[in-house]
Amino acid sequence: MILRFALVLLMGLCSLPARDFWVVAYNVENLFDADGVSTYDDYSPEKYSTRHLLTKLRNAATVLSRTSGKRGPDVLVLNEIELDQTPSNRSAADWLALAKAKSLAELLPKDDPDPQFIDAPAEFWLAKALEEAGLGSYHIVVPDEKPGLHEDGRPRSVKNIIFSRFPVRESRTHPTTDARAILEATLDVEGQPLSIFANHWKSGAGDEDNERIRIENATTLRKRLDAIFYKHPLADVIVAGDLNCHYNQSERYPHFRRTAIGDILKAEGAKSSLKDGSTDLYNLWFELPPESRGSDVYRDQWGTLIHLIGSRGLFEQGGISIVPGTFGAVVIRGLNADYLDRPVRWSKGRNPAGYSDHFPVQVRLRTGPSGGPPRWLDLSKPNFSKPSDPVRRVSEVEVAQRARSNAPLLTSPAFDPAAHQGEVFLVEAPAQVGDEGYISISTGPRTFDVFSHTKSIRDALRNQARSTGRLSFIGELGEFKNRLQFVVHRPDWINPKN
The pLDDT of 422-448, averaged and rounded, is 90
CB atoms within 10 A of CB 146: 11
CA–CA separation, 433 vs 419, rounded Å? 27
Q: Which residue has the higher pLDDT, 329 or 351?
A: 329
CA-closest candidate to residue 228, choices 281, 176, 270, 164: 281
Span 120-148, mean pLDDT? 96
- Judge whether 136 lies within some domain: yes
pLDDT computed for residue 387 by the predictor: 57
Looking at residue 10, what is its pLDDT?
A: 42
Q: What is the pLDDT of residues 15-55, one digit of tens each?
A: 456 899 999 999 999 999 988 899 998 888 888 899 999 99
Task: Please report the beta strands in 146-242, taking only residues with DSSP state E, as ranges in sequence order.
Answer: 158-164, 168-174, 182-189, 192-200, 237-242
Q: Are residues 413 and 343 in the same domain?
A: no
Name the more confident of 425 and 383.
425
Give yes or no for residue 404 having a pLDDT over 90.
Answer: yes
Contact 139, 166 (CB under 8 A): yes
Same domain, yes or no: 344 and 446: no
Judgement on whether residues 351 and 412 belong to the same structural domain of the protein:
no
Q: Is the pLDDT of residue 130 over 70?
A: yes
The answer to whether residues 185 and 312 belong to one domain is: yes
Per the model's pLDDT, the better-predicted residue between 224 and 118 turns out to be 224
Question: What does pLDDT average to over the chain?
Answer: 90
Q: pLDDT tier at 7 (50, 70, 90 boundaries)?
A: very low
Give how many domains the chain has, as a whole number: 2
Q: Predicted confidence band at 459 (pLDDT cuts at 50, 70, 90)?
A: very high
How confident is the model at residue 486, as a pLDDT? 93
Which residues have a Cβ under 8 Å from the Cβ of 17 and sit 6 or more positions away?
A: none
pLDDT-derived band at 1, boundaries 50, 70, 90: very low
Asked if residue 230 is part of any domain, the answer here is yes
pLDDT of residue 240: 98
**258 and 405 part of one domain:** no
Identify which of 6-10, 80-84, 345-349 has the greatest average pLDDT. 80-84
Asked, for residue 377, whether it belongs to a domain, the answer is no
9 domain residue, yes or no:
no
CATH at residue 200: 3.60.10.10
pLDDT band at 421 (very low <50, low <70, confident <90, very high): confident
Residues 334 and 461 in one domain: no
Residues 356 and 449 in one domain: no
Residues 338 and 220 in one domain: yes
pLDDT value at residue 489:
87
Q: Which of 8-12, 204-208, 373-377 has the highest mean pLDDT?
A: 204-208
Residue 104 within a domain: yes
Domain end call among 329, 349, 367: 367
pLDDT > 70? residue 390? no
pLDDT in tens, 211-268: 999 999 999 999 999 999 999 999 999 999 999 999 999 999 999 999 999 999 999 8
**pLDDT on residue 11:** 43
118 in the same domain as 266: yes
Is 129 in the same domain as 229? yes
Distance between alpha carbon 46 and the CA centroid of its chain, in Å? 27
What residue type is 64 in one-letter code?
A: L
Residue 407 has pLDDT above 50, yes or no: yes
- 227 and 363: one domain? yes
Which pLDDT value is given to residue 388?
52
* Residue-wise pLDDT tens digits, 165-208: 999 999 999 999 999 999 999 999 999 999 999 999 999 999 99
Q: What is the predicted pLDDT for the residue at 468?
A: 95
Residue 250 lies in a domain: yes
24: left (phi over 0), alpha (psi -120 to 50) or beta: beta
pLDDT average, residue stretch 4-24 = 61
* Residue 3 domain-assigned (yes or no): no
Q: Are residues 115 and 167 in the same domain?
A: yes
Domain stop point among 326, 347, 367: 367
Could you tell me what percent of the chain has a pLDDT over 70?
A: 93
pLDDT at 4: 42
List the CATH number of the domain containing 437.
Answer: 2.40.50
Residue 376, in any domain of the structure = no
Question: Residue 62 carries which side chain, given as an amino acid letter?
Answer: T
Which backbone phi and psi does 82 adopt, to 5 degrees? -55, 135
Residue type, 328: G
Query: What confidence tier does 498 reach under pLDDT thresholds 50, 70, 90?
Result: low
Could you report the per-residue pLDDT of 340-366, keeping only the tens digit for each?
888 988 887 777 888 999 999 999 999
Q: How far apart are CA 424 and CA 474, in angstroms?
A: 7
Q: Is the pLDDT of residue 497 over 90?
A: no
Strand segments, DSSP code E, in 334-377 are: 361-367
Q: How far is the C-alpha of 439 from the C-alpha of 85, rounded, in Å?
A: 39
Conformation bin of residue 300: beta by default, left when phi > 0, alpha when psi is -120 to 50: left
pLDDT at 278 over 50: yes
Domain carrying residue 456: 396-493
Q: Residue 466 phi/psi, 5° resolution?
A: -70, -40
Contact 485, 449 (CB under 8 A): yes
